Amino acid sequence: MVTAHDRTTRFIPSWIDGTDWPPAGSQASAPGDGALAKHDPATGALQSLVHRGKRPDAERALAAARRAFEAWAATTPVRRGEALRRAVQLMESRREELASIVHRETGKSFKDAFGEAGAAIEMGYFVAGEGRRFYGKTTTSQTPGRWALVTRQPRGVAALITAANTPIANVAWKAFPALLCGNAAVMKASEDTPETAYACAGIFAEAGVPPGAFNVLQGLGEEAGAPLVESSEADIVSFTGSAAVGRWIAETAGRRLAKVCLELGGKNPLVVADDADLAKAVEGATLAAFSNAGQRCASGSRIIVFERIYDEFARAFVERAGRLKVGPADGDDFGPVINEGQLLAMLAAVERARREGARVLTGGRRLDGPAHGGGYYMAPTVLDGVDPASEASRSELFGPIVCLYRASGFEEALRLANDSPFGLTAAIYTRDVDRAMMFLARVRSGVAVANGPTYGSEPHMPFGGLKDSGNGTREAGAEALDVYSDLKTIYINSDPSGVK
């Protein structure tokens, strides 16, 4: 196993048209116009240099994808699925290596990275299997001798823009369905996790995905991602990230009527009713709020507790949060946040909440000292007395920060749960099946859970949200194929009278 500190600084290139870009020998050797500095979240030390892609590089990648598109699209879905299955098999055989890359780039434990690699593999197997189904529809017609069919057809070139929180799972969620549907793709990897996407590109190539059909463009969003969105060569734009950037993408790509898939933020409510199993609710809330350092769009960052058990729950929850171990090792509960800028933004948000009257029940500070060094570690933070209309209640902080709220009963809890600009996931802990069913029906979210945390998606189930959490598209599940393919209605006319 390679740990986060075992590698010397190296250059991570882009992957365009089946080869490294820029070529070896012309790669930058220091941060600057041609390279970005990528720092180790666990230590703050320089970890790698990354190709700083710009508009010409984006155009090069899009042109490579356009050249590869026709031949890849002409390959049958079964054959495309077989190539993707070979890629998944390679991923499975190299699971430890891929987990080591994720561990190194994110600072999360190897154990968690290994689990994330497993989730990416399961997604790959599910999507590859869809190549044997790839369902359309056969139906009837009012006209005798007329057959009515609906089939899928590829859209063209897909621009895939990923986040850093679960880097290899994020690659799998976008790349596998985009490729299965016959599109050629350009993935703009997060600048915080460049090597994960680069390693996956090599695996796709080894599995038989042809040059140019899958490209990885490194760089900053405004320098490398924006040109992909703005280009008429991108027929689909799939983005995971903030609502603000999602709006810009929808507006920019929408002008040319490109297809857009947006998986945006969440400020997800977890309700604890007064009949809940308190121990299970505390544990579920802890996982929802703090696992992966709170860097989940499905993180449970608003915990709404019935008044009758509020004090008891708050004491138990704060005590549990205080026992969490923070660090990059397998014995730790969660690791650092992805970069220093994000950490500083979280600390500033907590301080603003404190000035507005919120109480910090635990945490609210950066962890340092011998165990954490210069890493980007945020203490698990629990806020109480937060105004539901404040920034801390309504903005996605994307870290291990959670707000507690009191509710007089079910109706107020549901109102608080729905009082958010987001609508991604939601959960309730209760023993009352009627109460649970009412919550699941009335909460405004794309995913709703009874007696479990707010996260925990599965490959065969669609994932996405309402309001500022997305634009109605869904990732994962067979529904992901609807993002990356268009429907074609086909009529076949025959003349029954001519049959002898």
- For the domain that residue 298 is a member of, what is the CATH number? 3.40.309.10
Low-confidence ranges of the chain (pLDDT < 50): 1-7
3-state percent breakdown (helix, strand, coil) of the chain, nearest 5: 40, 20, 40
Domain hosting residue 172, numbered range: 10-264+473-485
Q: How do residues 124-133 score in pLDDT, each as one tens digit?
A: 999 999 999 9
Q: How far is CA 91 from the centre of its chain?
A: 19
Which residues are known to be catalytic? 263, 297
The answer to whether residues 251 and 281 belong to one domain is no
The answer to whether residues 75 and 132 belong to one domain is yes
The answer to whether residues 247 and 353 belong to one domain is no
The answer to whether residues 220 and 142 belong to one domain is yes
Tell me which residue of 436, 377, 415 sits closest to 44, measured CA to CA: 377
Could you give the CA distance from residue 436 to residue 431 in angstroms, rounded to a whole number? 8
Total domains in the fold of the chain: 2
The answer to whether residues 236 and 312 belong to one domain is no
Helix (H) or strand (E) holding 204: helix 194-207
Could you give the CA distance from residue 191 to residue 51 in angstroms, rounded to a whole number? 9
In a domain, 359, yes or no: yes
Could you give the CA distance from residue 181 to residue 485 in angstroms, rounded to a whole number? 6
pTM of the model: 0.96
In a domain, 292, yes or no: yes
Could you give the CA distance from residue 121 to residue 115 in angstroms, rounded to a whole number? 10
pLDDT at 239: 98
The answer to whether residues 92 and 24 belong to one domain is yes
Q: How far is CA 440 from the centre of its chain?
A: 23
Tell me which residue of 95, 143, 29 sits closest to 495, measured CA to CA: 143
In a domain, 340, yes or no: yes
The answer to whether residues 247 and 124 belong to one domain is yes
pLDDT at 9: 75
The answer to whether residues 276 and 258 belong to one domain is no
In a domain, 492, yes or no: no
For position 90, which CATH number holds? 3.40.605.10
The answer to whether residues 324 and 211 belong to one domain is no
The answer to whether residues 110 and 240 belong to one domain is yes
In a domain, 493, yes or no: no
The answer to whether residues 15 and 28 belong to one domain is yes
Could you give the CA distance from residue 452 to residue 289 in angstroms, rounded to a whole number? 12
In a domain, 436, yes or no: yes
Tokens of 292: 């992966």
Helices 95-106, 194-207: axis angle to 10 degrees equals: 160
pLDDT at 8: 53
The answer to whether residues 100 and 67 belong to one domain is yes
Residue 422 one-letter amino acid: F
Q: How far is CA 14 from the centre of its chain?
A: 21
In a domain, 466, yes or no: no
In a domain, 460, yes or no: no
